[in-house]
Amino acid sequence: MRTITVEGTLIDNYDQVVASPIFKEIIKEYVEFLESIDSPILDVLLQFKHNNGYDYQEMVFFLYLLTLRPISERNSNADVHKLHDFIEGLYDFWREKHRFIIKRERYPRSFNVRDSVIKSTEFIGNTFEKTVRNLYRTLEKNIFLKTEKILREVPSGAQVIFLVDKPRIREKERLDYHLLYSMPFIWGIIFEPPVIFHTKSNKRKGIFPIVNEKILSKIDLGQSKWYVLPIHVGRLILYIYINSEYLCHVAGLANLFEIVTPEELRKPDGIVFFGLPLESIGKDYINGVVFKDDLYVGVVPDIEENDYFGYAKKIVLTVHNLIMIDTFKLPIHGSLARIKLKSGQSATAMFVGDSGAGKSETLDALGRLTEISDLEIIIDDMGSLDIENDRVVAYGTETGAFVRLDDLPPGYAYATIDRSIFMNPDQSNARVIVPYGNFDRITAPTPIDFFLYANNFTNVNSNEERIRFFRDPDIALETFSKGARMAKGTTSEKGLSYSYFANPFGAVQRREAHEKIARKYITKMFNEGIRVGEIRTMLGIKGYEREGPYLAAKDLLRVITHNKSSKGRK
């Protein structure tokens, strides 16, 4: 049991905690863990061990009595030091779990009432945390009868609270699958930072195949509880159905995308199921699949190696990108930033590249240059190009960033620790999910000045080689289509790898259609005077993980300064 979910009623005394089935289950799981390592702490539990194993109900009652009076006042032969170790270990074991509160609350349309509901929910969360912490302190105190000199207010309640309600959508706005509306929809979320999750995997592999099959009528959700997170993905609305065991990924998606309010609910443009039983879709799709039903339906099966936030994010973006291709827009795996110089010049640059190509790292380096007055990140990972009023414009999908910590300067994530979600911070490919932008700004059409492929593998020795511009659309298309990149450990790939248009999330699956769209847009860029080229970040070259993006940022600054189209632009 990795995920602990508590229904959102007020828990403000020890009796409610100790009487909870979850408390007994946690003790049982902790004892089984101690047995697996043959811990000497088990000696203190011998009094509860009988022929058929441990009597956990008796164990719970013992701890309940310990909240009422000190161990010295009871006829107990327990080793107080080992009992202390057991309580300390049990508390840490609880805190290592993913802890959530689910509060079922009708969505109030009145702002004032809604504000009141949120405040009362915060009170429930704070009360629960204090109750759990005080239970631990009371047990500790009644073992040694002393007051600790230092008290640490460590997080011990719910990491995240979800406000859920039944969906209230007009019949004409519903899909013809009533099962889709039988689950609670999430309309509000409260985070208790720092939020840290440890998942069973920390890399993603493969691409999601596209299968033309009517799947919605065949889906079996199994015995698990499910929740629905409706989100804006760019200009689309997707319903994300998530198995309750993976609520940490719901929290991550909510920190990355704009939540759809109940007033905005309508027929979704696409659907994603995360944590579906593998047998309901078949073993051929062990790492996920997108079905073309009446609409696109992305599925990530319930297996341990898929327990990584990259799967949740990328299946969402794959569904989005397929819809973009169908509507003759060009999905882009990349970043977009508006760069303002202290001189008064400005430019908007789009960087195209797969994970680990150096997009975020170059922008971070750029933002720290003294010549820059403002750096606005409009797109962090995925966006689309469209043609509006006869010009190429870009708009994004996410209001947050899923950032790899390994290649960023120390302190980057901790500056936003109160808003971030950390995923596996103790492992390689550690990540942080941090919100950074305004939804209306990200989805507004933005004209671009530079369209650059992020090359992380070419070693260059002179500033003049760090950025090269193409003179012919065919040469540009060849570079972008090749999608070369030195893998950085963010996926299962190693060494120099290739991914069509650096976009394995829809583009490669619909390559023929994508190629026609890409040619149209890049030709249009050349005709408009948008500068199309390649920026060498050297992020994939050993020893240049920090310096490479910095040097690339410096050269981009030089190019912007001398770019005629950016002179005096405000």
**Residue 165 CB: number of other CB atoms within 10 A?**
17
Indicate if 330-399+437-566 has the same CATH topology as 160-326: no
What confidence score (pLDDT) does residue 277 get?
92
Q: Give the mean pLDDT of the chain.
A: 91
Bridge partners (DSSP) listed for residue 384: 331, 395
What confidence score (pLDDT) does residue 566 get?
53
Mean pLDDT of 536-545: 90
The CATH number corresponding to 330-399+437-566 among 1.10.10.10, 2.60.120.10, 3.90.228.20, 2.60.220.30 equals: 3.90.228.20
What confidence score (pLDDT) does residue 568 get?
43
Bridge partners (DSSP) listed for residue 176: none
567, pLDDT greater than 60? no
The backbone torsions φ and ψ at residue 456, rounded to the nearest 5 degrees and listed phi first, read: -105, 5
User: Are 419 and 190 in contact, with CB atoms under 8 Å apart?
Assistant: no
267, pLDDT greater than 90? yes
Has this prediction a pTM greater than 0.85? Answer: yes
Strand 195-197 relative to strand 421-423, pairing: parallel
Q: Lowest-pLDDT range, 140-149, 186-195, 302-311? A: 140-149
247: CB partners within 8 A, 6+ apart:
3, 5, 98, 100, 160, 162, 227
Bigger pLDDT: 209 vs 464: 209
344: CB partners within 8 A, 6+ apart:
568, 570
Q: What percent of the chain has pLDDT over 70?
A: 95
What confidence score (pLDDT) does residue 283 get?
86
| Alpha helices by DSSP H, 99-236 | 111-144
What confidence score (pLDDT) does residue 413 get?
62
Residue ranges covered by each domain of the chain? 3-144, 160-326, 330-399+437-566
- According to DSSP, residue 422 is labeled E
Q: What is the CATH number of domain 160-326?
A: 3.40.449
Which structure tokens are listed for 207? 């691409």
Which structure tokens are listed for 259? 């939540």
Using CA atoms, how far apart are residues 344 and 207, in angstroms rounded to an integer?
A: 43
